[in-house]
Amino acid sequence: MSASQSAVRSRAEAVKVSRTFDWLICFTLFFVVLGGYHVHFMLVAGDWDFWVDWKDRRLWVTVLPIMAITFPAAVQAVLWWRYRIAFGATLCVMGLLFGEWVNRYFNFWGWTYFPINFVFPSQLIPGAIVLDVILMMSGSMQLTAVLGGLAFGLLFYPSNWPVIAPLHQPVEYNGMVMTLADLTGYHYIRTGMPEYIRMVEKGTLRTFGKDVAPVSAFFSGFVSIIVYVLWHFFGRWFGSTAFTTAS
Amino acid sequence: MAATTESVKADAAEAPLLNKRNLIFAVAIYCVFYAWVRWYEGVYGWSAGLDSFAPEFETYWMNFLYIEFVLEVSTAGILWGYLWKSRDRKVMSITPREELRRHFHHWVWLVAYGVAIYFGASYFTEQDGTWHQTIVRDTDFTPSHVIEFYLSYPVYIITGGGAFLYAKTRLPTYQQGNSIQYMVATVGPFMILPNVGLNEWGHTFWFMEELFVAPLHYGFVFFGWSALGVLGVVNIEVAALAKLLKKDLA
C-alpha cells in the first residue's frame, strides 16, 4: 500500500469509519472479556456466588472481591493507560453480571428449577465504579491499587447487604437455629454437591460475634490491593503488540 | 464533470466497507443455533439424559455427540482449508481502501468470535455447574458436557481459528510475523479443550462431588485468562486503522 494514501475519501467518512470501529471493538471486547472473566470467576469463587446458602459473612466476603478485581485491573491497564477510557472495571463487571444473570435465569431456574432468589449473583458494580473513578481522578496506578483495591474489598458486603439481609434472618427449624438462606438450601437439595462440602463460617472468627463481616472485608481489601497490582502488569502484557519474528 | 460522474458510479458499484448483512448474519446464526441447542437440552436433558446406561441416552445424547464430532471436524477442515487455499498471495500490494474493507471484514470475524466465546465460556460453562451440582454424573459424556465441551468449545475454536487465518492471509498488518497476543487469544481458549482430558481424568480417578472451585478446575481458569489477549489484538488494530485513516478525528 502507498504510505501517503488515505483509505477514506473525506473527513466525514473517516469519522464514520472510526465510530463504526468503536462499536465493533466495544462489542467484541465486552463479550470476549466476559467469557474469560466469567470462566475465571465461576471456577475460583463460583460456589459462593451461585447459592444463597454459600453467601456467608466470612468466606463469601473474603474470596469474591479478591477474585473479582483481577480482570478489571487488567482491562484498566489497557483502556486507561493507552486510550484514557475510564470505564474498564465497570465494563468487566457489567459483562460478568450479564453472563451470570442470563445463566441464572435460563439455566439455574430454566433448566434445573432453582428459584431466582436462591441463585442470584453477587453485586460488584459499586466497587467497580469506585475503582474507575479513583483511577480517573488520580491517574495513578498506585493510588488506584491502594485506595481502589481496599475500597473494592470493603464495599462488597455493604453493596450486597440490601438483598442479602432478609436471607440472613435467623429462624428456628426443628429445634435448630439457622438462617433463612440455610433453610432454603436444605430444601433445595443439590445431589452433586452435598452439604458437607459447603464452605461457610469456617474457623473461630464467628466467636467475635458481629465483627465477622468487617474483619473479612478488611482482609479482602488488603489482598485485593496486591492482586490489583499483579493483574495491572498482566494486563500490560496482554496488551502488548509484539510479533514473533517472521522467518 | 465526466470524471466526477465516473467516480460516483464507481463508488456506487463498490462493495461497502462494512457488509452489515454479514455482521448480522454472523451474530444471528450463533444465537439461533444455540437457542435450538438450549431447547434440545431442556427437552431431552431430563427425559433421556439422567442414566447413561439407558437406551434413550444412546439415542438422544451419544448420537448427538457422534454427529457433532463429524460436523466439527469437517467444518474446521473446509473453513480453514478454504481460508488458506484462497489466501491473497499479493497481500502487501493491496490498496489502502481494500485494506480498510478487509479490516472491517476481520472485525466481523472477531465479533463472531466474541459471541462464540460468550456462549462457550460463559453460558454453557456455568450451565454445567447447575446441571452437575444437581444431577450426579455417571459418565464423562453427560448432556451438559456433550454441549459444553464437545460443541460450544469446538465452535469457538473454529471461529477463532477462522479469524486468525483471515487476518494472517489477507491483512498486511499481520504479515510481519505472528502476533503473540492474537495467538494467546485463540490458542489459549483452544487449550481449554485438551484440558478437558485432565478434568475428566480427575473426575473419574477421584469420585468427586461437583465443587466448582476445586483445584482440578484451575486449568480452565489459567487458559480462560488468555481471552485477555484480545486487548493486544485491539491495540494492533487501532494502530493499523489510525495509519489507514490518516485523519484528525478530534
Read off the CATH number of the domain in which B98 is found: 1.20.1050.50
B175 vs chain A: nearest CA distance in angstroms? 8
Rg, C-alpha atoms of chain A: 22
Task: Assess if residue A4 is contained within a domain.
Answer: no
> Confidence class of residue A9 from pLDDT cuts 50, 70 and 90?
confident
Task: Assess if residue B186 is contained within a domain.
Answer: yes
Residue B249 CA to residue A10 CA, distance in Å, equals: 11
Residue-wise pLDDT for A32-80, tens only, equals 999 999 999 999 999 999 999 999 989 999 999 999 999 999 999 999 9
Measured between beta carbons, which residues in chain B are less than 8 angstroms from residue A49?
A: none
Q: Is A173 helix (H, G, I), strand (E, B) or coil?
A: strand
Cα–Cα distance list, B171 to A162, B92, B98, B189, B241 (Å): 52, 8, 10, 23, 12
Question: Cell triple for residue B189?
Answer: 481458549
Residue B171 neighbours by CB under 8 Å, 6+ apart: B91, B99, B102, B103, B106, B240
Structural domains counted in chain B: 1
Task: Assess if residue B1 is contained within a domain.
Answer: no
Mean pLDDT of the region B31-42:
98
Task: Assess if residue B93 is contained within a domain.
Answer: yes
Task: Assess if residue B9 is contained within a domain.
Answer: no
Q: Which domain holds residue A202?
A: 12-237
The answer to whether the Cβ–Cβ distance between B224 and A36 falls below 8 Å is: yes
Measured between beta carbons, which residues in chain B are less than 8 angstroms from residue A85?
A: none
Task: Assess if residue A6 is contained within a domain.
Answer: no
Measured between beta carbons, which residues in chain A are less than 8 angstroms from residue B249?
A: 11, 14-15, 18
Task: Assess if residue A5 is contained within a domain.
Answer: no
Residue A213 CA to residue A217 CA, distance in Å, equals: 6
Task: Assess if residue A246 is contained within a domain.
Answer: no
What pLDDT sits at residue B5?
52
Residue A129 CA to residue A91 CA, distance in Å, equals: 10
A59 vs chain B: nearest CA distance in angstroms? 13
Task: Assess if residue A197 is contained within a domain.
Answer: yes
> Looking at this predicted complex, what is its ipTM?
0.93
Nearest to A25 among B179, B213, B234 (CB): B234
What CATH code is carried by the domain that includes residue A78? 1.20.1450.10
Nearest to B111 by CA among B77, B38, B160: B160
B73 vs chain A: nearest CA distance in angstroms? 24
Residue-wise pLDDT for B154-185, tens only, equals 999 999 999 999 999 999 999 989 999 999 99
Structural domains counted in chain A: 1
Q: In whole numbers, what is the pLDDT of chain B averaged over residues?
A: 92
Residue-wise pLDDT for B80-131, tens only, equals 999 999 999 999 999 999 999 999 999 999 999 999 999 999 999 999 999 9
Nearest to A241 among B118, B127, B232 (CB): B232
Does residue A41 sit at the B interface (CB-CB below 8 Å)? no
Measured between beta carbons, which residues in chain A are less than 8 angstroms from residue B111?
A: 24, 27-28
B227 vs chain A: nearest CA distance in angstroms? 5
Task: Assess if residue B4 is contained within a domain.
Answer: no
A174-180 long-range Cβ contacts below 8 angstroms, 24+ apart: A179/A53
> Confidence class of residue B209 from pLDDT cuts 50, 70 and 90?
confident
Q: Which domain holds residue B74?
A: 18-245
Question: Cell triple for residue B159?
Answer: 471461529
Task: Assess if residue B199 is contained within a domain.
Answer: yes
Does residue A137 sit at the B interface (CB-CB below 8 Å)? no
* Among the ranges given (A96-100, A127-131, A242-246, B32-36), the one the predictor scored with the smallest mean pLDDT: A242-246
Task: Assess if residue B71 is contained within a domain.
Answer: yes
